Amino acid sequence: MSTSETRGSLGRFPTTRLRRNRQHEWLRDMVAETRVSPHDLIWPLFVHDKAEREPIVAMPGVDRLPIEEAVKAAADAKSLGIPAIALFPVVASKQKTVDGQHALDPENLICRTIEAVRAETGDDVGIICDVALDPYTTHGHDGLLKNGRIVNDETVTVLQQQAVVLAQAGCHIVAPSDMMDGRVRAIRTALDENRQEEVSILSYAAKYASAFYGPFRDALGSHAALGTAKSLGVADKKTYQMDPANTDEAIREATFDLDEGADLIMVKPAMTCLDIIYRVKQTFGVPTLAYQVSGEYAMVEAAAANGWIDGESVGMEHLLSIKRAGADFILTYLACRAAENLQK
């Protein structure tokens, strides 16, 4: 039977009226092909070494949190059915160096936060932490900067150590977001050699050199640091993050990372990469995550603040489209609000 005949057998107007299944809310809900639940969401949290919460101007509704507030947020995530949080440290300027050595300090902010959260929630809430040097370097890059270049292999050696430090502090999932070649195998080897076999690796396999990361970099203080890097000849991250023009390259990156031992794959950003999310999920059938990044969030919040859109509805539509594209889990700053709305 031809494709056209198969399609014809599904019905024709007026015998079949597709609007019938749209007439009532309960019916629309019953036939919905894609659903978003709190279990699909991961909540990114910014943590700083100060006593009070600090609003992030470019991300309305998102704050830099003291450690004790991050612990409370983790408990809130548990009560809302959100399975995991992703922690991002706001490192003090005095602790940043050219080589980002503070990333390897087991007493640093992120390690103390991991320990505090684990003491409160145990294994009930997953903890995900980036493996990358950008919060810790004076130049804001994810790797070591030498002679005007981000050096790959030397960076990977440092990332191995960072991953082990995070795992030993109690992180459940380390997430190399640096986009250095070969780092997943190196990190897996280092974790296993240090008896951290049960720690998972979430690889940012398809991380694009996107213009949507600005508010995140402001939140961490790495945006200003990249200004310093400009004078050193590396003003952006295009030599290691992916070109937004490419799709096949994303599949190659994911293939390499899975072969090297990645347990989960990340696509970042989400809204402009729905096709990549779809291809990754269809090609590999592995747990696939997508990051609704700071610029995506900020656009919705800004438009909503001006009364141009219904922010809550648009935010939920974004999440639905990311899930529909194939993402199993979504990192989103809307996680808490969305979970609360989904439970109403």
Tens digits of per-residue pLDDT, 84-96?
Answer: 999 999 999 999 9
Catalytic option among 96, 237, 268, 281: 268
The residue-averaged pLDDT of 317-342 equals: 97
pLDDT tens-place string over residues 228-243:
655 566 779 999 999 9
pLDDT tens-place string over residues 255-274:
999 999 999 999 999 999 99
Average pLDDT, the chain: 94
Q: Are 109 and 47 in contact (CB under 8 A)?
A: yes
Q: CATH number of the domain at 133, please.
A: 3.20.20.70
Asked if residue 25 is part of any domain, the answer here is no
268 tagged catalytic: yes
Compute CA distances 42 → 2, 104, 110, 245, whole Å: 44, 25, 18, 27
Q: Are 179 and 242 in contact (CB under 8 A)?
A: yes
Asked if residue 127 is part of any domain, the answer here is yes
- In the predicted model, is pLDDT for residue 330 greater than 60? yes
The total number of structural domains in the chain stands at 1
Domain with 120 in it? 36-342
- For 167, the token pair is 């795992």
The DSSP annotation for 27-68 comes to HHHHT-S----GGGEEEEEEEESSSS-EE-TTSTT-EEE-HH
Cα 53 to Cα 70: distance, rounded to the nearest angstrom:
10
pLDDT tens-place string over residues 144-167:
999 999 999 999 999 999 999 999
Asked if residue 2 is part of any domain, the answer here is no
Asked if residue 322 is part of any domain, the answer here is yes
- For 184, the token pair is 């997943």
- In the predicted model, is pLDDT for residue 8 greater than 90? no
Asked if residue 19 is part of any domain, the answer here is no
The residue-averaged pLDDT of 176-182 equals: 97
Residue 196, helix vs strand vs coil: coil
pLDDT at residue 235 in the model:
79
Asked if residue 17 is part of any domain, the answer here is no
Catalytic option among 207, 237, 281, 323: 207
**285: exposed, middle or buried (Cβ count in 10 Å: 0-12, 13-18, 19+):** exposed
